[in-house]
Amino acid sequence: MKSNPKLFNQLEKLLTEQRNPNSSEIDLADSRTIVQIINEEDKKVANAVEKKLDVIADAIDAIVEKLKIGGRILYFGAGTSGRLGVLDAAECPPTFGTKPETVQGYIAGGEKAMFEAQEGAEDSEKIGEDEVDSLNITDKDVVIGLAASGRTPYVHGALKRANSIGCVTAMVTTVSEEQVEVDVNFLVAVPVGPEVLMGSTRMKSATAQKMILNMFTTGAMIRLGKVYENVMVDLQLTNKKLEERAKRIVMSLSGVDYDEASKLLDKADNHVKTALLMALTNVDRNTAELKLKENDGFIRRALQNS
């Protein structure tokens, strides 16, 4: 195995690669003690994320502006970080009715890496650059790098190429800011401290990244009118569970019964926001669709302007 002293020195300094004194005897612990130690460390994650809410909110504002003009959110990561990006992207269409291309996740090593580790794939900036080039990325897009260590070459390559195109860029990492050596518009550095198992960033680091990605897409979709009150009203009815959830949404927000909710959804071609506005304002489908268009898809605005 070829030695790499520079990489060794980089890793030695990372918080995620340090030993956690709170779990130094976990190998002697029973199951109840093990889960207690893990839980105590997990409690620290939300507090660490809280310290970065300002920059997360600023990133959401930038994301919203790009999505409004047809841009995309594109995640790039490796290993667990990459899988989290793919997961967040995959959940947006059924949850918020977005087109599959609006939020996309890319992982070093490609689709195979989702299910089987492709460890060497993350070590090339060129692969990240080429991935960006293959996607016809423009300055309308938002490119977000995901790397617990903050140093993954694949992610750096993607971000550097995106910067050269003029994209909005962000990095989500769980080391301190001074340990990140790539320029981005929004650096969300959440140092969660040493993992329960040294270097196992599938634990606290992954939890922090998942929380932040939830904020990015959920916050953006709320700002784009895909939520009424605190209910998702732009979901796609791709299975029986979601069909029944849609009926329940129309019923609970408008007061109509099950049969009427079903009829309204049929008339609205299963578009939940249209059916809901029909129920709330007693108008036909064409009128409801026009009201939504005039109010940028926001149910509350459409009601206020009726």
153-206 pLDDT tens trace: 999 999 999 999 999 999 999 999 999 999 999 999 999 999 999 989 999 999
Query: Going from the N-terminus, what domains does the chain have, and what CATH number goes with each?
Result: 11-223 (3.40.50.10490), 227-304 (1.10.8.1080)
Residue 40 is which amino acid?
E
Sign of the CA dihedral 275, 276, 282, 288? negative
258-302 pLDDT tens trace: 999 999 999 999 999 999 999 999 999 999 999 999 999 999 999
Residue with tokens 């990605």: 213
Percent of all residues in the chain with a pLDDT value above 70, rounded to a whole number = 95
Residue 181: what are its φ and ψ, rounded to 5°? -115, 45
Q: What's the confidence (pLDDT) of residue 1?
A: 47
* pLDDT(8) > 70: no
Q: How many residues does the chain have?
A: 306
CB 194 within 8 A of CB 163: no
Per-residue tokens: 125: 């900036």
Collapsing DSSP to helix, strand or coil, 9 comes out as helix
Collapsing DSSP to helix, strand or coil, 145 comes out as strand
91 catalytically annotated: yes
Q: Which of 188, 108, 117 is nearest to 156 (CA)?
A: 108
Per-residue tokens: 291: 């009201």
Q: How far apart are CA 302 and CA 292, in angstroms?
A: 6
H helical segments located in 51-151: 53-68, 79-96, 125-134
More confident residue, 292 or 2: 292
Q: Which of 90, 69, 83, 87 is nearest to 122 (CA)?
A: 83
Q: Which of 17, 65, 91, 244 is catalytic?
A: 91
